[in-house]
Structure 1
Amino acid sequence: MTDFEQIYKDYFRDVFLYVRRLSGGDERLAEDITSEAFFRALRRIDSFRGDCDIRVWLCQIAKNCYYTHLKQSRRTEHTADMEQLISEAEESPEEMLLCSENAQQVKHLLHELPDPHKEVFMWRTLGELSFKEIGKLFHKTENWACVTYHRARKMIQKGMEVDNDEK
């Protein structure tokens, strides 16, 4: 048996349990990610410097594999959603342009928001963070993040109404 086979036998379960926890208990996904992580580790075993426990190194690779999977899933979902919206759209190009103008208007209003409202809104909508994650980021509670986000949203909505009334 090779050294890497022994590493696989010794640490597969630990890495699997770690990824399963990351993935919210999805065992099939955890198996796929763990296998990918060990495949990457095999290709990069020569770069392991031994500064840390090999279990930590393997879990770091697994975490990176998991985040790569999430990014790819989001892109795929986003592309599918956009394709569905485009195929279902009965709007003329002018109406679509209007939507683009609304997006520019929102972007402009967003940059005028005071902090932390601007940052919380951006982390929630663009960064796709949960309220709990945003709260941790600001050393506040999940409830604080939720309230701040909704206040920012109201400010943008009010700004949109004012701008539309002026037109």
Structure 2
Amino acid sequence: MKLAGQIDREGFSKDPSAALEQMMFLYGNIVLRTAYFYMNDRHIAEDVSQEVFIRAYRNWSSFRGDSSVKTWLTRITVNVCRDKAGLKMFSEQPTDPGLLDRNQMISVEEEVLKRISNSLIFKHVLELPRPYQEVLYLYYYLDLNTREIAEATAASEGTVRGRLHRARQQLEIYLRKEGLSS
């Protein structure tokens, strides 16, 4: 049992620089994948990841340890993504196919994410309202429990449980229509 206000000792250093290295090593991929889930753009997700770790570095000394480091980083990621999502619609995107670089290399991670997004179940998850997508992703993909999801999304735990329940129900309806559920 940890005392209120005590840093979770998950093996992290009190020194912000050393803690940053540890966080990036342990949770860098999770932060990047979560950012990609929200932003649906690899480059923006990389920018978000950098900003998340900058914020974590700056705020490490004030981290009270009321949640796990993973949950804390997930909350920062969700907040940065929500902030950027409001700005994303105003950013310039090339619309002329001639301006797009056709020789870009597709990374293995992008290929895997592309395959996942093309899968039937994930397709139906993406048809759900955004709050339902969010709880399904955080619960099943990041293995956060409902309390941690509530902390990461600034929602009540009851709201998270309700969204998770309704998301599962809606997903089951979609899968029944496709003949994938009995």
TM-score between the two structures when normalised by the length of structure 1: 0.43
Q: Kindly indicate which of the two structures has a greater share of residues assigned to helix.
A: 1
TM-score between the two structures when normalised by the length of structure 2: 0.40
Larger relative contact order (CA 8 Å, sep ≥ 6): 2
